[in-house]
Amino acid sequence: MKKLYSLLFLAVNFLSFGQTIYSENMGTPSGNTAVATYSTGTAPATFQNGSPIVYTGTSGANMMRTSAASTGYTGVSGSGNVFFAAAGSQFFQIAGLNTSAYTSSNLQLSFGYLTTTTTAQMVVEVSTDGTVWTPLTFTNNTNANWNLVTISGGQIPASATLQLRFTAPVTSGGMRVDDVKIANVDSSCTLSLGTPVIACVTSTSAIDNFTVTIPYTGAGNATYTITTVGTVSGDNPTTTAAGNIIITVSESTLGTNTVTVSSSPTCSFSFTFTSPDSCIEALTLPVTEPFNYTAGTALNTSQMWKNTSVGSDEILAVAGNLNYTGITSTGNSIAFVGTGSDTLLPFTNTTADNLFTSFLISVTDLTGVSTTGSTYFAVLSNSTNAFSTARIWFKTNGTQFQYGISPTTATADIVWSSNLYNVGTTQYLVLAYDFANNVLALYENPTIGGSASPSVAVTPTTALTSLANFILRQDSATATPAMTIDELRITTTPNFTLANQSFSIAGLTITPNPVNNGVFYINTDANAERTVTVFDVLGKQVLNVTTSNSAINVSNLTAGVYLVQVVEEGKTATKKLVIR
């Protein structure tokens, strides 16, 4: 059965009803900016239109904002808008407009409008000389939401020197304007298009389609032509008064395309849509990814992966394989280094039992990587793609490196493995989560078909309730080393036997925490003999003792944050410890 995945219709942008003469979406400010400064900025942090259009505004006021972005009306652009502060009488002016080739009765002005109060309204004026201003009549906002205001009926002059001015009244402020447009509209056109919706239609792990559905009314009284990429279906506005126009496009048609619905020369609608890069079906477990792509292929262009963030570089397929005893590598492998896109593979949402994510990895170069920092490069996220779930970390240790795990982004929550590796060697890593016992564990180089214990394990403060995406992350040039990854597998059963099905230690408590007098106490339900190992935040072992006593003396350790690993009756748990 095919599955529909609706995408945000903000990817669709109306150019205007009728023939667009002027359109301004206000760009995307990088911060609160004065109009004069914004006019000389660099896209996208500047106005959509340049010379001969001239923008001016209240002197000294940072009117260009991204807060309270426009929303909720057809053709909304979001992002930047013009803000009129409560100081009152702030203005925003647009000059250099030319409507002389059109008839005033067919000219229409529209703009997105937000006001925090309905007791006072924006004043909108036109001028042909910049001296004499004529106020325009329009329906005022009856709520404190974004609305699309439309002004027509011959109020807009046909002039080669047209200017617009928006002014907040002296008695109020907190108003905003966005998406200012002037169009030539024939009054005989009754067709009205609703907000288009883009939806992915996925049924396979190969290239699929997406649809653009355009609701409409007021048709059936003219011959309409629909010009676009893809296949047009649904209702025919030439013969059907109201319905939905459906455009089906192959997902491989990347980029921005235009749809035009017209009964020329009476009326014409045009809007652009951007093909989605995420018509990807969540893969059924177990997932096996041998990276069988041609060398040089960007991982996000495959049907299994998509970018969850876009950076300067993509993760690329490379020729050759990594090798590990017991694993037969096929296809190719992938490689990345430094900063770049984060790329995601969705899989069946898992909420119970166990999940095991494994892959081969080789760190091939540490050049430029910080010797004091750390980064995470592999992530398991939940069904909403929240990153604060499970991750594998990396850091250098002299000329070598090591791995760690954590359930958060906080470096204090990282549990580092004590195993050190050399550049150019291959490791087999398995990130496992036990939903029943709330244990996140990392296995390093387990024997395929044998029995294996985790290198490190941690009990998240908040239990994970969902795992549904695997992400490869490129952080920065000083954090992410050159890596090659191969033979990814996501499954509910490992290819080795767990030394202990449960890693949790019943009743484990560590008190007091923080430690103030140099001694802390470990208690469990069993209170059996246990091995206690303490690591500093760099992963260095600073204490190791096997004892049946609950008291652990750390008086020789300096104040700071440490990790305590407790092994009792074959079960392992790790806790954070603060010494003051």
* CATH code for the part of the protein at 509-579: 2.60.40.3080
**According to the model, what pLDDT value does residue 202 have?**
65
* CATH code for the part of the protein at 287-498: 2.60.120.200
Domain spans in the chain, listed from the N-terminal domain onward: 19-184, 189-274, 287-498, 509-579
- Whole-angstrom distance, CA of residue 23 vs CA of residue 181: 4
- Whole-angstrom distance, CA of residue 265 vs CA of residue 188: 11
**According to the model, what pLDDT value does residue 7 have?**
37
Instruction: Print burial letters for 303-331: b (CB count within 10 Å at least 16), e (below 16).
Output: bbbbbbeebeebbbbbeebbebeebebee
Q: 509-579: same fold as 19-184? A: no
**pLDDT bucket at 272, cuts 50 / 70 / 90:** confident
Q: CATH homologous superfamily of domain 19-184?
A: Galactose-binding domain-like (2.60.120.260)
Beta bridge partners of 573: 566
Answer yes or no: are the C-beta atoms of 196 and 271 closer than 8 Å: yes
Answer yes or no: are the C-beta atoms of 232 and 310 closer than 8 Å: no
Only one residue has tokens 């430094």, namely 338
Residue 160: pLDDT over 70: yes
Answer yes or no: are the C-beta atoms of 158 and 100 closer than 8 Å: yes
**According to the model, what pLDDT value does residue 148 have?**
92
Q: Using the 8-state DSSP alphabet, how is residue 133 labeled?
A: -
Q: What is the pLDDT of residues 386-444, one digit of tens each?
A: 766 899 999 999 999 999 999 988 888 898 998 999 999 999 999 999 998 888 999 99
Q: Where are the alpha helices (DSSP H) in 182-247?
A: none
Q: What is the pLDDT of residues 191-230, one digit of tens each?
A: 878 778 888 876 665 667 888 999 988 888 888 999 888 8
Answer yes or no: are the C-beta atoms of 507 and 524 closer than 8 Å: yes
Threshold 0.85, pTM exceeds: no
- Whole-angstrom distance, CA of residue 414 vs CA of residue 403: 10
Q: Which fold has domain 189-274?
A: Immunoglobulin-like (2.60.40)
- The three-state secondary structure class of 405 is strand
Name 417's Cβ contacts closer than 8 Å, sequence gap at least 6: 402, 403, 404, 442, 444, 455, 456, 539
Count of CA atoms in the C-beta half-sphere (13 A) of 261: 29
Q: For the CA atoms of 451, 455, 459, 462, what is the dihedral angle to 10 degrees?
A: -110
Q: How far is CA 362 from each of CA 115, 250, 328, 366, rounded to the nearest angstrom?
A: 57, 37, 16, 11
Residue 11: pLDDT over 60: no
Residue 502: pLDDT over 50: no
Q: What is the pLDDT of residues 297-351, one digit of tens each?
A: 999 888 789 888 888 899 999 999 999 999 999 999 999 999 999 999 999 999 9
